[in-house]
Chain A
Amino acid sequence: MSDTAASGPVMSADGVPLKRSLNRALRAQKIRALALIAPLLLFVLITFIAPIADMLFRSVENQIVRETLPETVQRLGDWDADSGEPPSEAVFTALYADIFLAAERKLHTRLGSRLNYEETGASSLFRKTGRRVDRFDTDIYTDQITDLDPAWEAGATWAALFEAREARSALPFTARSWERWTDFVINEEEDDPLEEDVPDFLYTALYSELADGAGAGLDPRVDQVIDALPGFETVSVREQFLDADEDWGGADIWRTIQTYSPAYTSGYFLNAVDMEKGTDGPQFRPENEQIYLTLFKRTMFMSMVITFSCILLGYPVAWILANLPARTANLLMILVLLPFWTSLLVRTSAWKVMLQQQGVINDTLVWLGLVDDGSRLVMINNQFGTIVAMTHILLPFMILPLYSVMQTIPPTYLRAAKSLGATNWTAFWRVYFPQSVPGIGAGSILVFILSIGYYITPEIVGGTTGTFISNRIAYHISSSLNWGLAAALGTILLAVVLVLYWLYDQIVGIDNVKLGG
């Protein structure tokens, strides 16, 4: 040993230290392995992981308020929501500009439906206001300003005015509004803003800023307006909004806008657990409006019942499959695998056929005289239907892992226990059962994971009382279009599943998932 130590590290044949050349070989192997995996990994990342990430993002994303009402949101910042009073005239002026543009771009209804999730009535409020906003009496400002100098009617005058940096910084609100409007005309109407009529809200914006004392000395035309200001006839923008809908006079809608103005919100998650943003932080909704917690509880409860029924029915079957001679067991295995391989829709339709009031079970019971023809059992469109159908559908997922565990338990153990004097029950409970627990664990988690995310079967046989949280998610995606809430509900469900998946990995290991025996 001392020889090699004296002559330095061990060398390979080509004079490179062995350690390095081994490392290089290992690295080449790693790179080759990764190169083989990379295409699939990329594929899964794009087609599957990105969508999941998108859903997570949507559950907190809330750009719409800030994008549709940028000026309002900015000015509403210092409004005290606890005052119970609507905000100042300046905020109304900002809202006027925002709503006018939103109505032109037909975005106000979308914002309305978004806010309607939080504050009932917001949808109709925005729709009504959007219809009224271009008939506001604010045209008196337009008339008075253009009377002073008809050049104000031309877009070119405005464009020239806001070319100058000083004008943009002296009259920021008007400048931004002008820019938003020209952007809209150019990009969405594909017209030349210089040839369009300058809309009323810009005159109102200009008036409001000039009346606040800004803009003096910028331009002779502006000075002319400032000079004439004391003689101007005025109109309250707030009154205009109140005319359109008196809800603007209350504090509720303003509080909602203020609460939901940040770009990211926990609102969807609060909604998903039946809470809402109140004046002093999150609070639970009234008892009678709590639907999601009920639904989560029901999903959990029914999944547990289904898992338990699967254990109850799957255990004897797995036992008999594991203890019968191979030939018979293989034949019986077909009875387990056939449902496993049969289309989910086929099995669901089969249960519909079996369970309905004119269905096979009821017919048989009536024929046997166990049930009167007039009082057929109601077994479908309720929890019972969902539990029976899903137990049947998920039973193979319980039997297969149980079977593979039970196969490894030597039958001699039971005989040994009995020969030592144990009763049947003791031998089973103290010797056999503990060894089969890993199978129960694996099967239960698998069945539970599968059942809490089930959609098709509860939708068809569940009616209203037998539906799961997934049915609500689907409803929010396709019917109520409240995607944020759907995403938040989905995220919560996903979190539950991932925790269970982690447990499953601890107990069984993902590498040990077996398919079809």
Chain B
Amino acid sequence: MVALTPISRTPVSFYVPVVAAAGAFAGLLVGTARDNSLLGVVLGALLLAAIAFAVTQLIENERLARWAIFAVFALAGLVMGGLPALVVGAAFGLFFGWFIFWLFEGRYRERLAPYLTPGQVLWHYSFRVICGMIFFFLITPIVVVMPLSFNAEDFFTFTPEMLQFKPEGYSLKHYEDFFTNADWQQALWNSVRIAPVATLLSVSFGTLAAIGLSQPHVPFRQVIMAILISPMIVPLIISAAGMYFFYSRIGLQGTYLGVVLAHAALGIPFVIITVTATLVGFDRSLTRAAANMGANPVTTFFKVQMPLILPGVISGALFAFITSFDEVVVVLFVGSAGQKTLPWQMFTGLREQISPTILAVATILVVVSIALLTTVEMLRRRSERLRGMSPG
């Protein structure tokens, strides 16, 4: 991004009070932790104002000044509260080092339109901070789970040892439990046995139907589409209730086949949506060209159409897979103890015995979902590139 506005150093009367305000806020946090908020605010403001003035007026070298602030804050943290406070102090140090010079050099104006009023600049950055907090809200719960899964104790929370980064606070025992415990392994095995078969069913039926649906003349297209999409819209508890009633009538309740069929039905809308979306960009003249050159419809499908829509099919398959792999409500009702899947085991774990093994499983699943997310993103880009929709 290019600089929009020429920048110049700001006056002392601007940046010292702003840094002091930030310092007061930091001081409030530290002060409250030490049972004296007011003193914290005053000390924080004074300290930061002094530091800001000192480093900008006395130390000309910015890099040196920032390292100095970082070191001082880290050391102060260590003295005040040991290792955990050292990390917090270091973070404060990094932030203030950057913040002071960001304000002092006027860099905050650099990338903004020159005509903005100070109020608008302030709003611009406050908005960024708000968004940052929302992103923080989105990602924290997932991130917090990961270190906790290495807990050496059977707690769901950080132990003092963990916070002091002592090696004895961490262990792999919950992972070990997951890989050796018969219940968890059975659940994993069941998930692995159910999800791919359900995916295969929904993908093969779904791709065919999507191709049918994207033909130019389909009678009752709206109605058919509504029916095929309905498993995604109907709340899971209702699907689960209906399937439980109906499958127990026809003897599928509590069987492997029942669960697979139910999951396949739930995965179908995702396949339909992704594959029809890919087919929108599909050039029909290609199939005609293939037919023109003597290929029969089956050859045309596998040699011409399939390679082009493959990214859509695969991402539909991934959606169907994750739907089945993640699904717990339907399997809870349609399945019996013999079909206990991983999410089901986690669900009972969360409801009954709280074991941190759940967190180990959760971490593994987060890693799996990162892998899936990457795959889908890459497929989407490849598909767009193939269809010439975006240069990326």
Contacts and interface: CB of A to CB of B under 8 A. Distances in A.
B105 interface: no
Interface in B372-391: 372-373, 376-377, 380
B157 A29 contact: no
B243 A51 contact: yes
B270 to A, nearest CB: 7
A143 interface: no
B225 A353 contact: no
Contacts of A36: 208-209, 211-212, 215
A349 B238 contact: no
B114 interface: no
B130 interface: yes
Contact of B32 (A52, A53, A369): A369
B112 to A, nearest CB: 13
Nearest to A418: B115
Interface in A19-52: 26, 29-30, 32-37, 39-41, 43-45, 47-52
A515 interface: yes
B164 interface: no
Contacts of B370: 338, 341
Given A49-B227, A353-B145, A453 B137 contact: no
A30 B212 CA distance: 9
B384 to A, nearest CB: 11
Contacts of A304: none
Given A47-B264, A341-B372, A395-B138, A460 B1 contact: no
B235 A353 contact: no
Interface string B140-177: 11101100100000011110000000000000000000
Contacts of A352: 156, 350
Interface stretch (B61-69, B286-294, B321-329): B321-329
Given A29-B215, A343-B326, A516 B142 contact: no
Question: Which of under 10, 10 to 19, 20 to 34, or 35 or more describes the interface residues of B?
Answer: 35 or more
Is chain A's binding surface mostly helix, strand, loop or mixed? Answer: helix
A41 B237 contact: no
A411 to B, nearest CB: 12
Contacts of A354: 140-141, 144
Contacts of A473: 237-238, 241
Contacts, number: 287
B127 A353 contact: no
B206 interface: yes
Interface string A292-327: 000000000000000000000100110010000100
Given A348-B350, A349-B362, A370-B32, A39 B141 contact: no
Contacts of B273: 513, 515
B270 A515 contact: yes
Question: Which of under 10, 10 to 19, 20 to 34, or 35 or more describes the interface residues of A?
Answer: 35 or more
A452 interface: yes
A395 B224 CA distance: 30
A455 interface: yes
B139 interface: yes
A34 B329 contact: no
B235 A493 contact: yes
B268 A40 contact: yes
B31 to A, nearest CB: 8
A55 B139 contact: no
Contacts of A4: none
A43 B350 CA distance: 34
Contacts of B351: 459-460
B229 interface: yes
Given A33-B215, A349-B358, A459-B351, A339 B139 contact: yes
B138 A490 contact: no
A317 B239 contact: no
Interface string B236-252: 11111111111101000
Given A36-B208, A353-B145, A320 B128 contact: yes
B131 interface: yes
A351 B158 contact: no
Contact of B326 (A338, A345, A358, A368): A345
A11 B213 CA distance: 31
B343 interface: yes
Interface of B: 1, 29, 32-35, 120, 123, 127-128, 130-131, 134-135, 137-142, 144-145, 148, 155-158, 201, 205-206, 208-209, 211-213, 215-219, 224-231, 233-247, 249, 261-262, 264-265, 268, 270, 273-274, 276-277, 315, 319, 322, 325-326, 328-329, 333, 343, 346-347, 350-351, 358-359, 362, 365-366, 369-370, 372-373, 376-377, 380
15 contacts: A40-B268, A47-B264, A48-B265, A54-B245, A58-B245, A317-B138, A334-B373, A343-B365, A345-B350, A346-B142, A360-B157, A456-B328, A477-B244, A497-B233, A501-B233
Given A41-B228, A44-B231, A454-B235, 13 more contacts: A29-B215, A33-B212, A33-B213, A43-B201, A52-B239, A325-B1, A342-B142, A342-B365, A346-B365, A369-B35, A456-B328, A493-B235, A516-B380
